[in-house]
Each structure stands twice: as structure tokens, then as C-alpha cells.
Chains A and B, each alone.
Chain A
Amino acid sequence: MGTQGIISKPLVILLQKNKIIFMKIYKINIWLSVVSFMFLSARAQTLTNLDFEQANPVIVVGSPYYPYAVTVASALPAWTVSYGISPQTQITFNSPALGSTWVTLIGTGYQGYPGIQGPIDENYSVLLQGGVTASAASISQTGLIPGSTQSLLFEAKPGPGPLDISIDGQNIPYMVVGTGANYTLYGADISTWAGDTEQLMFSALEGYGGGNNWLIDDISFSTTAVAPEPSVFALTAIGGLLFGARKWFVRCRESLEHDKTIVSPLVEQSDR
């Protein structure tokens, strides 16, 4: 004889309902825990290796690009490399392309490519090359943009063509905010994404005779809003003032000439 014989049928149904409710609560708890964990994990996953100094390039023997081929994982930890939409597993170390879409890790002391004399800062920089015929060269990384971020900053030796910067797939405008001895400092307002976990991508676009080469380094987030570097701002202001002054001068002259055209017949008449 089992217990079912002792417990009444309504009680059994009640127990079964409670069990279902309990299971639902249990499942919700687990779900909440997972979500919380994921949330916490996401919060913990900050963007890293923004100065590219975590590189420890491992040469890929047997690669068509040997002995300059290195794995992306070793050369650019935390970053993904893509040509167009095609992810790559190898890049080169200290051997830029001469017209192809390509990404190269540039190390200390490198020379041999026009305009590139070693990294911008410390031991490593990254060279993004938009090729002559193929698609853009991109590096990207997904992570947390710090909560109080107002702007994104990065140092670069610019190429002749565009460098696209996108967050969450949305291109963001950027401007020159300063200059260093061997680089230009750029800044972009990214306050919209502060506290969000997003994909950050840098892309050197194709074309430009295969020479759209951007050497970038020291990406950082700032709690200060971007503003054009003083010299740029000052030049813009002076330019604006000069433009305004010129317009004022031209207007005055036109006014005078207009007056002359009215007066002159009288003068002529008086001369006569």
C-alpha cells in the first residue's frame, strides 16, 4: 500500500500545483542568476589592449607570408581583424603591404615603409591599410565603454583616405584635438554609449592608390568632452573673423560704389 492511499486526491493536486509553482520559481531564479551573471560578466568585460602593448607575436611557419606572418591572437590580443567582412587569423609583423588591404603590427625600430618609422608610442602600433582594390582593413573589439565616458581618443599617423570609426555599427564623427611629435590626436564624442557594451571598430577604407595607411595607437576613453585643439579652434575663429570682416568690407565698398553711381551723374552735371 502506498501513500497515495492516505493522501486525498485534492491534496495531491494541490501538491502537484505547488511543485509546478516551485519549479517555475526555481527556473526563474536560475534564469535571473544567469542573466545577473551575464550582466556582471558583461560589466567586467572591458575593452582591453587599447595601446596594443599586449602583443607577443608568434610567427606562423608555413604561411605564404612567412617569416612575417603572426597570429592575430598573439599579435593583437582581444582584437578581431577583418578584411571587408572576412575575419582573418594571420597578420604580418613589421612587413606592411604595398597595395593590399592588410593589417600589420609595427614594432620598435621598424623602418622600410614610407612614412612609417616604428610605433607611435612604446613598443607597438597597428597599421591599417585600405587596399587598392579589395575592401577595408578593420580591427574591432566588443566590450564595456566606461560609464562616465564623454569621448574616445586615439593617436594616429593618418592616411590620405578615410578611417571609419564605428560603435555598434554606427559611424561616429571625429576631429583633430591635438598633435604630438609623431602623431595626430583625434577625438570623438561617444557619450551616447557610455556604460554600454558595444563593438568598437576602426576601418581604413580601400582605394586611394592602395596608400590609405593609418597607423594608430593609444586608444582611450575620456570623461572630458572633445574640443578641437586650440590652434585649430583659434584658426577657425580667426578665419571666421576675417571672413566676417571681409564681408563687412565688401558690403561697405559696394555701398560706397552704389552711392557713387547715384552721385556721379550729379557730379558730371556739375562738371558740365
Chain B
Amino acid sequence: MTAISAGDYFTLALRSDGTLEAFGDNSYGQTNIPAAATTNIVSMAAGGGHCLALNAAGNVIAWGLNTSGQTNLPSNLNNVIAVAAGGAHSVALLNDRVSLYAWGDNSKNQLQMPFRPSTVTVTVTPSTNSLPAVTNFTTNYQTNSYPSIAVKLIAAGGNHTMAAILSPLVQYQVDVSKDLLLIYNTNSLNSSNVCQYYLTHRPMVSNANVLGIDCTTNSVIGPLDYTNVFLQQVNIWLSNNPTKRPLYVVLCQDLPQEVSIYTNVETSIGDPSVQYQLHYWADQEWHPFVTAINMNGTSGTNYFSSDGTNDCIAYIDKLVSMASNNPPGTLFISGTAAGYSNINWYIDESGSGENPYADSAAHAITNADPTATVFGTAGTNLFGLPNHSTHDTNVAGYYTCGSDCTFDVNMFVNTNVQFFGYSGWFIITTLDSFDGQRRSGQASFLTWFASNSFGGTNYSNTPIGAATTVEEPFSSGKVAPDVYYGDWAAGKPFAIAVWAAHAKGYGNPGYYFQAVGDPFAKK
């Protein structure tokens, strides 16, 4: 069984093979499963005396008590992603996550939503029920300005209905069979190996969806190849899985990182990241949190390891190791829950007054976690630039301006920067513009995840999450460190913290953003 739902004196159960079982009171035929609902069912709901089933094609089947029209499906109801059944009313959420349908009994206004984001459309049937004047949210109900408002969950009680709006401030229960999509490159053995290793070793993700894409292994993909090869295969998967719109997508090693749209040869400016393209433009209403397990570059652009998968495998092993100290059955692997004693945050430039973003990051951390200790550098070096934090202990978060502030580009692997103590579970970003490139440039994220990075051995000091940029974001286009570190300090999962930080940014659209790390890792 993969799901159960209890109605009034009867029960529905869903098997993993997509078949239903119904038992209990059958006064209204509610346990008589219709032929259309005998196979390919992915979700169901039991109401007062009626039942709803959702099949893999995104269609709803209803049966049982129909005193208030609760089994009279609205016309053209398709692409449904979730259903809920109340006492005598029914609710369906479409896969655009902004369209809700509600029908049946409205005697207690259970079909009406008095508050909703302006993007959510509510359709009520029968048509005799009219919608009241809708009051949109006028207050900023999420402190971080994540732009994509969508409905995450729906539920129906006896005479009421609830919808949960997606917010980075809320951590939802994740069903990886619906909410997680792993993508790998079918032209790279390393890519498929990393994907398979993640599936089989990382706890709680074995039921995730997997998509192999036949595309280039180069870090840069042309715009036509992106649209007609890469994106087309993603869209086909979405089309074939109308009931699934995974909120979390993980790109495994050797998938392209940038789409060469604007590249200016002189300045190397303008290419958006594949993650940005997927998040904003793959589908008008699908805005997943995309991250990557791609700690190592393809052969030929692989600087710090003799094998293309070592760093990725070691990263996954680190997740496994930390999970072993978390409560059993934990998807969100937490360092704190495992008793990992990293309590210090090192934020270059905070307190110097020269970078207000760094200052606000320091404040956000202490606001989110009053027990946190934030170390900021002050003063300037020979060139008038802020001093760096280079020898740190028990690191929970690290922010530096990197080689842009006269650090050596190999600073993280040549012992210029060394961490000590519990420093193997932290998040990082730098002010370097090309830190997300697999090829040469400023201090690349590949150095952050190398076995000897930050003065460690055997990956002892590698981060658990990283915000990077594959191109020039300008100082106004980097992730907002106050959100990034603040949300992480508050216990948000990496994917949410990093994408909320991207959404706020410094004001630019952030075409270049790339997140590296497990989406469900937590402080």
C-alpha cells in the first residue's frame, strides 16, 4: 500500500501497482470501484459518502453519494495533480498549481476561498454557486520574495477546504515519487553512475523519478540544442507524467551548465545557467528548485581528481554518513540533528561597512539562530580590500569575496584557507563571478568539493551546499547572502534557502545562478 484514506465508515487504499482497494460501509456504493478506477491510479480521496480517484493521465473518477453534486465532475477537468474529498464536496488542483476546482455542497461556503494569491484561479461548480469578492493577499506573507506563488497542498474536511500556498518559509512533507526528479546524461557513464549511486545510497530517495537525457556533456550547450534536445526531453517527461510536477530537480554530473545565448567573447558575459532556464522557463507554471550533484567536471576539464565521479561519490557518502546519525526515515538530513558541532559562521567583510550584503547576512544569521557565533573580518589589506577569514574552526557557513579580492584562485586547495574541527557540513558562496564554471576562471566550485579543500583530507572539510554563478552576475546579481545564510540558519533545506536567496538577489534577474548540493540537506 502506498496511501490510505478514511471516509465516513469506509476506507480506500492505494496499492503500489496503481490499483485500489475499498472496504467498509457501502450504503451509497462508495466501495464499488468503477472500472475506470481499477488501474493506473496515483492518488485518491475518501469523503463523507463519496470517493475520488486520480489516474496517471491526470483525470479524476468520482463515485458514491451524490446528494450535493459532489461526484458531478466539472467539464474539461484534466491535468489534475491532487484531489481532496470533504463531507459532500470535492476539490481538485491542476498541475499548473494555480488552478483549483471545487464542486458539490457549498452550504458552509466550503467551495469559496476568501483569501488567495492573485495568481490562483478558483472555479466553482455547480454554476449556481457564485464566488464572493476575492481578497488578495495584500501583506507580504513570505519574508523572502520568492516570486512563484503556487498551491502546494489541498485538503477537505467535513464542511471546509484548505489550500497550502507554496512558500520558502514552509517545509512541506515531500513524497519523492512525485516531488523529486533526477536527471542524468545518457552520454556519460559518470553521469549515470552518479545518478544511480545517489538513488541507491542516499537515504529515502530510491523512489525518485529518473530522466536520462541524450545531450552534450559539454558545460556549455547551444540555444537550439538546449531547446530542441535538452528541454524537449524534459517536456516530454512532463507531458507523460501529468500528475507529477516535481518541486525538486537534481542534475547529475556531466549535464550542461550554461546556455550560450548572449556570450560576449571579450567579456564572457551573458549566458544563463541551465538551472535558471529550467526554473523559470521550462514550463510556464513549473518552477522547480533545481540543484546539482556535479562536484566534478568532465574528463579534460577535471582539475583535481583522476576520476570524474570521485568528488560526487564522496559527497553522497557524506550525506549517507550524516544520515546515519539522524532519526531513521529522515529525508531532510540535518547536521544539527546528528549532533554535529559546527556553530561558527565566517562572513568576510561583515562589520567592515564596505559590503552591506555581508553585514545583513551576519544579522540574518543571528536573527535566525541566536546561538550562532558570527565572525566577520574587518580592516583592509594592502590593496584596500577587506581582509579574509582564512583559518576557521567549526564552520557552519562561509562567505568570502574570493579571488576577486586578491585571493589566489587556488586558495581553497593550496592551504591558504584552512578549516578545523567540525567543518564538513557548511554552505558557501563567494563573490567570484565564474565560481560555477567547470572550466577555468576564478576559484571554481570544483575546488570547494575537492578531497583536500579547505585544508582537509579525504573530503573532511568540503561544503554541503554551494551557491555559484556560471557567468558574470555583476555585484548586483549574486544571491542575497542574508537570505541564503539566514534561511539555512533557520533550518530551511538547502534547495529552498538557495533559491529564495537567488530570487531576492541583489536586484538583477540572476541568469547565471547555479546551486550545487543535495536539495534536502539542512544545517
- Is B403 in contact with A211, judged by CB distance below 8 angstroms? yes
Contact A111/B356 with A98-B472, A98-B478 known, Cβ cut-off 8 Å: yes
- Closest partner residue, chain B, to A86 (CB atom): B266
Identify B474's interface contact among A86, A92, A135, CB under 8 A. Answer: A92
User: In this assembly, does B249 line the interface, its C-beta being within 8 Å of a C-beta of chain A?
Assistant: no
A187 at the B interface (CB under 8 A): no
A113 x B475 contact (CB < 8 A): yes
Whether the Cβ atoms of A114 and B433 lie closer than 8 Å is no
Interface positions, chain A 196-223, Cβ under 8 Å from B, are: 208-211
B348 and chain A: residue at smallest CB distance: A114
Known: A114-B386, A131-B267. A209 touches B409 (CB 8 A): yes
Q: Assuming the A-B contacts A132-B403, A211-B406, are A83 and B478 also in contact, with contact meaning beta carbons closer than 8 angstroms in the complex?
A: no
Q: Which of A88-107 contact B (CB under 8 A)?
A: 92, 94-102
Known: A114-B386, A132-B441. A67 touches B356 (CB 8 A): no
Of the residues A64, A94, A209, contact of B403 by C-beta under 8 Å: A209
Residues of A within 8 A of B329 (CB): none
- Least CB distance from B507 to A in Å reads 7
Whether the Cβ atoms of A84 and B401 lie closer than 8 Å is no
Whether the pair A68, B508 counts as a contact (CB closer than 8 A) is yes
- Contact A211-B405, Cβ < 8 Å, known A112-B476, A115-B354: yes
Given A158-B383, A160-B406; A114-B434 close (CB under 8 Å): no
Q: Which chain B residues border A159 with CB–CB below 8 Å?
A: 383
Q: Which residues of A contact B355 (CB under 8 A)?
A: 111-114
B369 beta carbon closer than 8 Å to chain A = no
The reply to whether A134 and B409 form a contact with Cβ atoms under 8 Å apart is: no
* Contact (Cβ within 8 A) B407 A209: yes
Most chain B CB neighbours (cut-off 10 Å) among A86, A111, A115, A117: A115
A98-B432, A134-B268, A159-B383 given; A210·B354 CB < 8 A: no
CB neighbours (8 Å) of A209 from chain B are 402-404, 406-409, 442-443
The answer to whether residues A101 and B267 also contact, given A96-B475, A112-B506, A210-B433 and a CB cut-off of 8 A, is: yes
The answer to the question of A133 belonging to the interface, with a C-beta cut-off of 8 Å to chain B, is: yes
- Chain A residues with Cβ below 8 Å from B402 are 209
What secondary structure prevails in chain B residues at the interface with A?
A: loop
Do the beta carbons of B357 and A98 come within 8 Å of each other? no
What residue in chain A is nearest B443 (Cβ atoms)? A209
A65 to B477, CA, bound (A): 9
For the complex, give the distance between the alpha carbons of A98 and B434 in Å. Answer: 8
Report the minimal beta-carbon distance from A44 to chain B, rounded to whole angstroms.
34
Q: Is B380 an interface residue (CB 8 A)?
A: yes
- Kindly provide the distance from the CB of B57 to the nearest chain A CB, expressed in whole angstroms: 41
Q: B8-21: contact bitstring with A at CB < 8 Å (1 yes, 0 no)?
A: 00000000000000
Q: In the complex, what distance in Å separates the CA atom of A84 from the CA atom of B506?
A: 28
B440 interface hit (Cβ, 8 Å)? yes
Whether A97 touches B472, Cβ cut-off 8 Å, given contacts A112-B355, A117-B354, is yes
Cβ of A157 within 8 Å of any chain B Cβ, yes or no, is yes
Map CB proximity to A onto B454-476 as digits: 1 under 8 Å, 0 otherwise: 00000000000000010011111
A65 CA / B267 CA spacing, docked (Å): 12
B401 to chain A, nearest CB (A): 5
A251 to chain B, nearest CB (A): 35
* Docked-complex contact A100 and B354, CB < 8 angstroms: no
List chain A residues, Cβ under 8 A from B267. Answer: 83, 97, 100-102, 131, 134
Interface size for A (C-beta < 8 A) is 37
A100 to B475 Cα, complex, angstroms = 11
**Least Cβ–Cβ distance between A61 and chain B, in angstroms:** 13
- CB pair A111–B409 under 8 Å, yes or no, is no
B431 CB–A CB distance under 8 Å: yes
Docked-complex contact B473 and A98, CB < 8 angstroms: yes
Question: What is the CB-to-nearest-CB distance from B349 to chain A, in angstroms, rounded to a whole number?
Answer: 6
Nearest-neighbor residue (CB-CB) of A183 within chain B: B384
A117 CA to B262 CA, complexed, in Å:
31
How far apart are the CA atoms of A186 and B442 in the complex, in Å?
30
| Chain B nearest Cβ from A125, distance in angstroms | 14
- Most chain A Cβ neighbours within 10 Å, of B262, B349, B382, B433: B433
Contact with A along B365-406 (1 / 0, CB 8 A): 000000000000000101111100000000000000111111
- Contact (Cβ within 8 A) B384 A100: no
Shortest CB distance A158–B (Å): 7
Q: Is B269 in contact with chain A by the CB < 8 A criterion?
A: yes
A116 to B432, CA, bound (A): 16
Q: Mark B405-449, 1 if CB is under 8 A from A, else 0.
A: 111110000000000000000000001111000001111000000
Which residues of the partner chain A approach B474 to less than 8 Å between Cβ atoms? 65, 68, 92, 95-98
User: Measured between alpha carbons, how far is A113 from B469 in the docked complex, in Å?
Assistant: 17
B511 in contact (CB, < 8 A):
yes
Other-chain contact of A112, B404, B406, B475 (Cβ < 8 Å):
B475
Q: Which residue of A lies closest to B402 (CB)?
A: A209
Task: Name B352's closest neighbour in chain A (CB-CB).
Answer: A114
Residues of A within 8 A of B431 (CB): 98, 114
| Chain B residue at smallest Cβ distance from A99 | B433
A210 CA / B473 CA spacing, docked (Å): 13
Q: How far does the Cβ of B355 sit from chain A's closest Cβ, in whole Å?
A: 6
The answer for the CA separation of A211 and B476 in the assembled complex, in Å, is 16
Question: Do residues A210 and B383 form an inter-chain contact, with CB atoms below 8 A?
Answer: no
Partner among A83, A96, A211 whose Cβ is within 8 Å of the Cβ of B266: A83
Are A84 and B441 in contact (CB-based, < 8 A)?
A: no
Contacts of A117 in B (CB 8 A): 353-354
**B476 contacts A100, C-beta separation under 8 Å:** no
* B357, B382, B434: the one within 8 Å of A132 (CB): B434
Judge if B270 is at the interface, Cβ distance under 8 Å: yes
Report the Cα distance A65→B270, complex, angstroms: 8
| Distance (whole angstroms) from the CB of A107 to the closest CB of chain B | 13
Contact B357 A99 (CB under 8 A): no
Chain B's closest residue to A92 (CB) is B474
Q: A97-B474, A210-B403 are in contact. Are A115 and B266 (CB under 8 A)?
A: no
**Complex Cα gap A208–B407 (Å):** 9
Interface mask (B161-178 → A, CB under 8 Å = 1, otherwise 0): 000000000000000000
The answer to whether A208 and B262 touch across the interface, beta carbons within 8 angstroms, is no
B270 near A98 with CB under 8 A, answer: no
Q: How far is the CB of A38 from chain B (nearest CB, A)?
A: 34
Question: Please, how many angstroms separate the alpha-carbon atoms of A209 and B441 in the complex?
Answer: 8
Report Cα–Cα, A249/B475, bound state, in Å.
55
CB pair A98–B386 under 8 Å, yes or no, is no
Residues of A within 8 A of B (CB): 64-65, 67-68, 83-84, 86, 92, 94-102, 111-117, 131-135, 157-160, 208-211
Closest 10 CB pairs of A and B: A209-B403, A98-B433, A99-B433, A95-B476, A100-B472, A83-B266, A95-B474, A115-B385, A160-B383, A113-B475
28 A–B pairs (Cβ distance < 8 Å), ordered by A: A65-B474, A68-B507, A68-B508, A95-B474, A96-B474, A97-B267, A97-B472, A98-B469, A98-B473, A98-B478, A99-B433, A99-B442, A99-B472, A100-B269, A102-B267, A111-B355, A114-B349, A133-B268, A135-B266, A157-B384, A160-B406, A208-B406, A209-B408, A209-B409, A210-B432, A211-B385, A211-B403, A211-B404
**Given A112-B506, A160-B383, 5 other A-B residues pairs in contact with their CB atoms under 8 A:** A64-B269, A67-B507, A97-B267, A114-B405, A210-B434
